Amino acid sequence: MSAVADTHNQEHHHGPAKGISRWLLTTNHKDIGSMYLIFSFAMFLLGGSMAMVIRAELFQPGLQIVQPEFFNQMTTMHGLIMVFGAVMPAFVGLANWMLPLMIGAPDMALPRMNNWSFWLLPCAFLILVSTLFMEGGAPNFGWTFYAPLSTTYGPPSTTFFIFAIHIMGVSSIMGAINVIATILNLRAPGMTLMKMPLFVWTWLITAFLLIAVMPVLAGAVTMMLMDINFGTSFFDASGGGDPVLFQHVFWFFGHPEVYIMILPAFGAISHIVPAFSRKPLFGYPSMVYATGAIALLSFLVWAHHMFTVGIPLAGQLFFMYATLLIAVPTGVKVFNWVTTMFRGSLSFEAPMLFAVAFIILFSIGGFSGLMLAIAPADFQYHDTYFVVAHFHYVLVPGAIFGIFASAYFWLPKWTGNMYDETLAKTHFWLSFVGMNLAFFPMHFLGLAGMPRRIPDYALQFADFNMVSSIGAFMFGVTQLLFLFIVVKCARGGEKAPAKPWDGAEGLEWTVPSPAPYHTFTTPPEVK
Amino acid sequence: MRVHAKRALALVTGLLLPAVVMADWTMNMTPGVTGTSNQIFSLHMTILWICVAIGVVVFGVMFWSIFAHRKSQGYKAANFHENTLVEVLWTAIPFAILVAMAVPATATLIEMYDTTESEVDIKITGYQWRWQYEYINDDFGYFSSLSTPRDQIENRQAKGENYLLEVDKPLVIPVGKKVRFLLTANDVIHSWWVPEFGVKKDAIPGFINETWTRVDEPGIYRGQCTELCGKDHGFMPVVVEAVPEEEYAAWVAEQKEAAEAERQLTQKDWTLDELIERGEKAYASACASCHQPNGAGMPPAFPALKGSPIATGDMAAHIDIVVNGVSGTAMQAFGGQLSEVDLAAVITYERNAWGNNTGEMVTPKEIFDFKNKE
Ligand code: HEM
Ligand SMILES: [Cu+2]
C-alpha cells in the first residue's frame, strides 16, 4: 500500500500509521512511551559497554587496555549516558505509557510536544557520542564536569557536550511540563489528588523537580560556554571568577537530580509490592507526604557533595543536619513497604523479586548515604570508591531494578503476552548476584583508601577490584538476557488477560491487554 | 568462588603474581595515627553499627514475612493499611537517633576546623600532576612527584611494594607539633588526602584552604590526590614522613643550605653539555607528562616539541612560552615553578634533544634578566 493511503487511514483514527512515519510523526502516548523505553535500553547497553571497558582496565593493577586519557573519557561518558540517556528516559517512557492509563486519560495533554521532546533525545546523544571521534576525544572531566578542568583545561569537544546537555535539558523540561499538564487536567472524574495512584504522585513531584533544576544546569553549562568561547571568567580564578561557584550551581541541580532518578521508581514499587502482597499499600498519605518532604529537602542539601571544598563551619553544619534529616522521610517509605508485605499473601514473580531486592539494596545505599552525611567522616569517604559504592547501590538496584520491576509488571499490558517467567527469574538472580559482587566490594576499597576515577591503583586494592570486575561482567552480560526476554514477549507467548496479576489495582488493568491504540476516549468514573 | 577465580587468573598471567602476593583484603577504614582520624573512625563505626541495627530490625521483619506469609503456603492476607501510632514512632525514633549522631559529629567538626596556634606552616600547591610543598617560615620548598617507573605501570617490570604510592621527595613534618597546611592549586582543582591523618582538603586555584594535623608516631604515611585533575590524576601520590623533632630541625637546616646553594648556581658559568644534562632531568619531571619523553606530545591538547617551530625557532619566544605559559591552555607558566637554572637547562635541552640540534643555549643569567625585564 502506498504511503498516501496510510496517512489517510490515520486520519480516520483506525489505528497507527504504517512504516517509519508512524514513529517519526506519532503523537500517541503508547508509541512515544515505547520509543523512550527502547532508546533508554539502547543507551543502557552503550553506557554499560563503557563500564565494561572501565572494569576491564581495573581488573588488575597496571595499565593494560586503555590509556588514562581514554579511561577518563569512558568514566565521563558512562556517567552521562547512564544518567541522561538510560535512567531519565526510561522513567519518561514509563510515564508516557502509564500515566494516561492510570488516570483514565485518552493521551498526554500535549501530544505534539511529546513527540518533539522524544525526538530531541536521539539528536542530543548523537552529538554527545560523536565527541568520541573528535580530535582531542570526548569529555574527560567526569559526569560532574567541575571547572576549570572542564573549561580552561577541557578538550575541544566540550562545546558539543554543552550543546548536547542543552538539548537534553529542553527535552526534559518539555517532558515535565507535559506530565504536569496531564496529571492536573486529565484525571478521570472522581479521581481527587489523594486518590491518585502513587506512580502518578511521584511523577508529578519529579516533574516539578525537573522544571526547577534543569534550567539551573542549563545556566551552569551556558556559563561554561561563555568561559570557553567568549572570554568570560565565571569560573576562572585568574580572571576574578570562582571555581567553587561552579560546584554550588552544579549540585543545586545535582542533588535534586538524584531524586529525579529515584522518585518514579518509588512510585512503581508502591504499586508492585501491594499487588504481590495482595494487601493494600500501608500508609498511602504518609507515602505522599514523605515524597513531598524528600523533594523539598532535596533543595537544601546540595553542599553535602562539597564537604571538602572548604565551606565555612556554619555552612558545613547546616548541610550536615539537612542531609541527616532527609533520611527520615526516606526511612518512612521503606518502613511502609515492609509493613505492606507484613501479613500479606506473598508470591514472588519477577516484578516482586526485583521490588524486594529494590527495598533491601536501596536501603543499603541509604545507609551508606547516612554515613556520608556525617561531615567529619565524609572527609575520609569523599571521592573514594565508598561514594562509588553508595551511588551505585541507590542507582542500580534502586533506579534500574525499579525500571526492570516496572517493565515485567506492565509488559503483559503493553504486549498482550506474558513474558517467560523462568527466564525473567534467571535474569533477576544473575543481575542480583552480579550487581552485589560488582558493587559491594567497592565499599571496602573506598574505606581502605582507593580514590575514585583512577585508571590504575596500588597493589593492596588488587583483590577486591578483581572480584568487582568479575561481578560487573556478569551483570553486564546478563542484561542481554533481558533484551531476549522482552523481544520474545513482544513476538508472542501465552495471552495475557486484562488483569494478569490477581492483587493489582488501578485503571490500567480495566482496559484489555494489549492496551488498544486508543484508550479511555470517554473517561471512566472513579468512586 | 572468589578464591577460585583468583587462583585461575593467577595461573593465566604471570604478571598478576606480584599483585596476589601483595594484596590484602582490608575491608575497613584505618583508625589512623592522629586525634582527628581516631575521632572520625569512632564516628564511622558508630554510624555503621546504627545502620546495621536498623537493618537487622527492618530486614528481619521483611524476611519473616517472606518466609511466613506466602501465598504458596496458603497464608491469607490481612487488610490493614494504616496505624497512626507506628507511623509517628518510626518518624520520631529515627529522628532522635540522628540528633544523637549529630552531636559528636558536630564536636569533631569544630575541632577539625580549628587551625589556630599552629607551630609549623606549610603551603601545598597542586599542579598537574605533582605537589609543591613550601615551608613558608623557612623560605624553601620543592616539588614532590611520583617515582614509580613507567615500566612498572606498563607491566614491563614487576611492581614494587609501594607501587603508585611513592614519590621522589616526600613532605617532611615533625611529630608532636601542630602543622597547618595552606592549600591551593595552580591549574585545576586537586585534593590532598592522607587517610591515616584523617585530612582531606581540596586545593583550588584562587583559594587558600586551611587544615591541620598533629602526628604522634614517626613513620611514612601515604595518600593520593582525590579530585579528578586530568589524565594523571591517578599518578600524583602524597607521601609524608613524620620525623622526631631534632631530626626535623636538622633536615630543615640542610634544606635551607641546599636552597642557598641552588641560588648560587645562577651565577655559575654553564656549558651547553652541563645544561643539557640538567635539562633532561628537569624535562622528565616537569614537562614529559604532557609533551612526552620523546618530545612527540599528544596533539591536539599537548603539541609536539620535536621539530616544533617554537623549540627550533626564535629563542625569545621559546623562553616566553616556558616562563609565562599560554593562558587558556594546559601550558603552565613555569617561571615561578622552576629555578632560573632549571628553566635555562630545560629550554636548552628542548632546543637540542630529539634532533632539534640547534646548538643554541641560554644561561640562567639570561633567564634572570628576561624575568626582571618584564
Ligand atoms: C538517605 C538518603 C541519602 C543520603 C543521606 C545521601 C547522601 C549522600 C552524600 C553525603 C553524598 C556525597 C558523598 C561524597 O561525595 O563525599 C552522596 C553522593 C551521591 N548520592 Fe546520595 N544520598 C542519599 C540517597 C541517594 C539517592 C536516592 C540517590 C540516587 C538515586 C543518590 C545518589 C548519589 C550520587 C549519584 C552521588 C555521587 C555523585 C558524584 O559525586 O558523582 N543518593 N549521597
Ligand atoms: Cu546529594
In a domain, A198, yes or no: yes
Please tell me which residue in A131, A150, A157, A270 is annotated as part of the active site: A270
Q: Are residues B134 and B73 in the same domain?
A: no
The pLDDT value recorded for residue B19 is 43
For residues B162 and B164, give the distance between their C-alpha atoms in angstroms, rounded to a whole number. Answer: 6
Same domain, B170 and B258: yes
Range(s) of the domain holding residue A185: 25-261
Among B262, B291, B325, identify where a domain stops.
Answer: B262
Q: Contact B252/B138 with Cβ under 8 angstroms?
A: yes
SS3 A51: helix
Q: Are residues A251 and A272 in the same domain?
A: no
Same domain for A238 and A270, yes or no, is no
Which chain B residue shows the shortest CA-CA distance from A371? B47
Average pLDDT over residues B14-20: 42
A260 CB within 8 Å of a chain B CB: no
Q: What is the pLDDT of residues A387-420, one digit of tens each?
A: 999 999 999 999 999 999 999 999 999 999 999 9
- Looking at residue A467, which CATH number applies to its domain? 1.20.210.10
pLDDT at position A361 over 90: yes
Task: Note the pLDDT of residue B134.
Answer: 95
Q: According to the model, what pLDDT value does residue B24 have?
A: 66
B287 and B321 together in one domain = yes
| Beta partners for residue B220, in sequence order | B241
A271 annotated active-site = no
Q: Domain of B256: which CATH number?
A: 2.60.40.420
CA distances from B11 to A370, A462, B17, B20 (A): 41, 16, 9, 11
Q: Give the ipTM.
A: 0.91
Question: Do A435 and A328 share a structural domain?
Answer: yes
Instruction: Give me the residues paired with residue B124 across strands.
Output: B133, B183
Residue B357, in any domain of the structure: yes
A116, A119, A143, A146: the catalytic one is A143
A282–chain B Cβ distance below 8 A for any pair = yes
On whether residue B188 sits in a domain, the answer given is yes
Q: Which of A117, A172, A323, A415 is catalytic?
A: A172
Question: Domain containing B85 — which CATH number?
Answer: 1.10.287.90
**Among A453-467, B203-217, B249-263, where is mean pLDDT lowest?**
B249-263
Neighbouring CB atoms inside 10 A of B334's CB total: 20
Q: Please give the share of chain B, as a percent, with pLDDT higher than 90.
A: 62
Do B307 and B206 share a structural domain? Answer: no
CA atoms within 13 A on the CB side of A470: 17
Residue A30 grid coordinates: 503508547
Measured in angstroms, the CA of A472 and the nearest CA of chain B are apart by 14
Is B362 within a domain?
A: yes
Domain shared by B300 and B233, yes or no: no
Clarify whether residues B146 and B185 are in a common domain.
yes
**Helix or strand or coil: residue B213?**
strand
pTM of this structure: 0.90
Same domain for A380 and A480? yes
Q: What is the Cα–Cα distance from A504 to B183, expressed in whole angstroms?
A: 58
Give the count of domains, chain B.
Answer: 3
Residue in B128, B161, B227 nearest the CB of A383: B227
Is B124 within a domain? yes
Instruction: Tell me which residues of chain B, numbers 210 to 269, contact chain A at a CB-CB cutoff of 8 Å.
Output: 210, 223-235
Residues A157 and A236 in one domain: yes
Put simply, whether B4 touches A (Cβ < 8 Å) is no
Q: In what order do the strands lie in the sheet with B130-135?
A: B140-144, B130-135, B120-127, B179-185, B209-213
Domain extent, residue B228, equals 120-262
Residue ending a domain, choose from B221, B244, B262: B262
Is there a domain that residue B303 lies in?
yes
Mark whether B189 and B78 lie in a shared domain.
no
Please tell me the distance between residue B208's alpha carbon and the centre of ligand 1 in angstroms: 27
Asked if the structure places residue B309 within a domain, the reply is yes
| Residues flanking ligand 1, CB < 6 Å | A 144, 258, 261-262, 304-305, 323, 326-327, 330, 366, 369-370, 372-373, 378, 381-382, 387, 390-391, 394-395, 398-399
Examine residue A430 and state whether it is found in any structural domain, yes or no: yes
Q: Are residues A166 and A295 in the same domain?
A: no
Q: Are residues A478 and A439 in the same domain?
A: yes
Is B7 part of any domain?
Answer: no
**Digit-coded pLDDT (tens) for A272-327:** 999 999 999 999 999 999 999 999 999 999 999 999 999 999 999 999 999 999 99
Within an 8 Å CB–CB cutoff, is residue B186 touching chain A? no
The reply to whether A192 and A310 lie within a common domain is: no
Among A374, A91, A139, A68, which Cα is nearest to B41's?
A: A374
Q: Based on the domain organization, do A478 and A329 belong to the same domain?
A: yes
Same domain for A352 and A222? no
List, in sequence order, every residue forming a beta bridge with A372; answer none if it has no partner: none
- A235, A261, A287 - which closes a domain: A261
Give the helix, strand, coil percentages of chain B, each rounded to 5: 45, 15, 35
Domain boundary among B211, B246, B262: B262
Average pLDDT over residues B162-173: 96
Q: Which of A459, A467, A468 to mutate to test the interface with B (most CBs of B within 10 A)?
A: A459
* Number of domains chain A is built from: 2
Q: Looking at the structure, do residues A271 and A252 belong to the same domain, yes or no?
A: no
Give the per-residue pLDDT at B284.
87
| Cβ-proximal residues to A41 (8 Å cutoff; 6+ apart), any chain | A86, A90, A482, A483
Tell me if B233 and A72 make a contact (CB, 8 A cut-off). yes
C-beta atoms of A347 and B199 within 8 A: no
